[in-house]
Amino acid sequence: MRKALVIVSILVILGALVTAVFAGGLIIGRATVRPSASGPVIAPPVQIDEATPIPQPERQTPTQESLPDPPAEADRTPVVEESFEPREPREPGMAPVDAFDYELLRTVLELLEEQFYGEIPDGDELAHGAIRGMLMTLGDPYTSFIDPQITAILNEDATGEFEGIGAMVQMREDGYLEIVSVMPNQPAEAAGVMDGDIIVAVGEQSIVGLGLYEAISYIRGPAGTDAELEIIRAGVPDPVFITVTRARIDIQIVDSRMLDDDIAYIRLTEFDATAAERMEEALDELLAQNPRGLIFDLRNNPGGWLNQAIAVADLFLDRGLVAIQRDSSGREQRFSSGDGDIAESIPMVVLINRGSASASEIVAGAIQDRERAPLIGTATLGKGSVQLPNNLQDGSQVRITIARWYTPGEQVLHDSGLTPNIEVPFTPETPAGEDPQLDAAMQYLMENTP
């Protein structure tokens, strides 16, 4: 009986996966698999397997308790589809599903059941492993499988809010979860958690050696509940125990302020579902102060959602082309900006670096190609592909590369990235507290604005 359940579980999930990839929305039994309603994502997907290379920016940006990846379209989408042909199903014989040997898989499962010395994982775990293995054969690190637990975390973070302790964390190479920064005026700060603290356990659950999102899942929880943290703190010989009452956290993805010499500064850290709305609100406040110029900082912004990239670009650009998306058959969709947005005329520069990827490159590339403003910094990552999230019936998700995108000037950014108009390095030798790229941006505006 157990063997039959395992085989049925794996075959059903694999069947659903292949249908989602090549047919889109066919019904397998009672489970319908459709692309996520959120539409394409252009951020590099969350890396689940440690063997998958993770592009590193010049200066590490801390990983938040959650990495936003919106599940729903934003209301504000100034996208003009100038030409688009719906993607047609692949011709018979082209799809690997036609040649997929289900019987071979069934044989291996039966051999495992009969011969394996040890405990065989349940059907879902075996199925997830089989899916990951299948996707690895594609040779595309961005086509990836995300298990239900992590999918739930990503979906919660989609709106720019989540329930947790309010801290930025990263997984160190030695397997310890480190507090990189504590968010101001949030529960972790109020309870006494400090930058540099190492969380080794939550309640009775050790999180040492767990994956990033598995560890986060123990720290996260409903607002009003307590997270009992066991912490190792530098200079303190014994563990520190801190109880933090969780709360709903509003992720601040926009940083805006006035700098010296009447220069406005705005930074966007990622393109979540609220990016365009928050950018517009911040720009309204900045422009009301009549700045002479604007610095738009996209450094270490790993990307996000396609509709938000187009909407943010539209804030700075008048009518014209923003990006071109092409699939493997050469069919294309063009995304355009319109007239009348608030920041179309203010003199500006854009800061970029190796950590600027995906949606950041779409926005920066459009601004550069249309000669709206120069790019200052170093070359971007070069992530020029689009992934479509597909929700599976067990709560997991598979993200599939469906297309590549190009700038208005037909720059091919995949694996190449954007080259800045003014190159300014930011090296590990740069003294702490100094920012030569920001300094260069201010100098440019001072010299090129009245």
Q: What is the pLDDT of residues 56-103, one digit of tens each?
A: 333 333 333 332 333 333 333 333 333 333 333 344 444 555 677 889
- Higher-pLDDT residue of 168, 416: 416
- Higher-pLDDT residue of 33, 70: 33
Active site residue 383: yes
In the chain, % of residues over pLDDT 90: 45
- 413 assigned to some structural domain: yes
User: Contact at 8 Å (CB) between 403 and 385?
Assistant: yes
pLDDT at 71: 33
- 293 assigned to some structural domain: yes
For residue 365, pLDDT over 80 is answered with: yes
pLDDT at 412: 83
pLDDT at 144: 82
For residue 391, pLDDT over 80 is answered with: yes
386 backbone φψ class: left, alpha, beta (φ>0; ψ -120 to 50): beta
For residue 173, pLDDT over 50 is answered with: yes
User: Contact at 8 Å (CB) between 249 and 182?
Assistant: no
Active site residue 140: no
- 331 assigned to some structural domain: yes
Distance separating the N- and C-terminal Cα atoms of the chain: 80
Q: What is the pLDDT of residues 237-266, one digit of tens each?
A: 999 999 999 998 877 889 999 999 999 999
User: Contact at 8 Å (CB) between 418 and 359?
Assistant: no
* Residue-averaged pLDDT of the chain: 78
- Higher-pLDDT residue of 13, 147: 147
Q: What is the pLDDT of residues 267-285, one digit of tens each?
A: 998 898 899 999 999 999 9
Q: What is the pLDDT of residues 315-341, one digit of tens each?
A: 999 999 999 999 888 899 999 999 999
DSSP character string of 326-390:
E-TTS-EEEEEE-S--TTSSS-EEEEE-TT--THHHHHHHHHHHTTSS-EEES------EEEEEE
CATH number at residue 222: 2.30.42.10
For residue 142, pLDDT over 60 is answered with: yes
317 shares its domain with 412:
yes
246 shares its domain with 258:
no
For residue 221, pLDDT over 70 is answered with: yes
pLDDT at 450: 85
215 shares its domain with 354:
no
Domain count, the chain: 2
203 shares its domain with 229:
yes
- 28 assigned to some structural domain: no
Res. 445 pLDDT band, cuts 50 70 90 = very high
Question: Looking at 358, 360, 385, 396, which residue is catalytic?
Answer: 358
Q: Which of 202, 222, 250 is the last residue of a domain?
A: 250
- Higher-pLDDT residue of 289, 39: 289
303 shares its domain with 245:
no
Beta pairing partners, 337: 320
362 shares its domain with 241:
no
pLDDT at 40: 60
Q: Which amino acid is at 252?
A: Q
In 10 A of CB 98, how many CB atoms?
11
Burial 157-196 (b: 16+ CB within 10 A, else e): bbbbebbbbbbbbbbeeeebbbbbbbbeebbbbebebbee
Structural tokens at position 51: 């063997």
In the chain, % of residues over pLDDT 70: 76
pTM for the structure as a whole: 0.69
Domain range enclosing 201: 161-250
pLDDT at 414: 80
Question: Looking at 297, 369, 385, 396, which residue is catalytic?
Answer: 369
User: Contact at 8 Å (CB) between 295 and 270?
Assistant: no
pLDDT at 158: 58
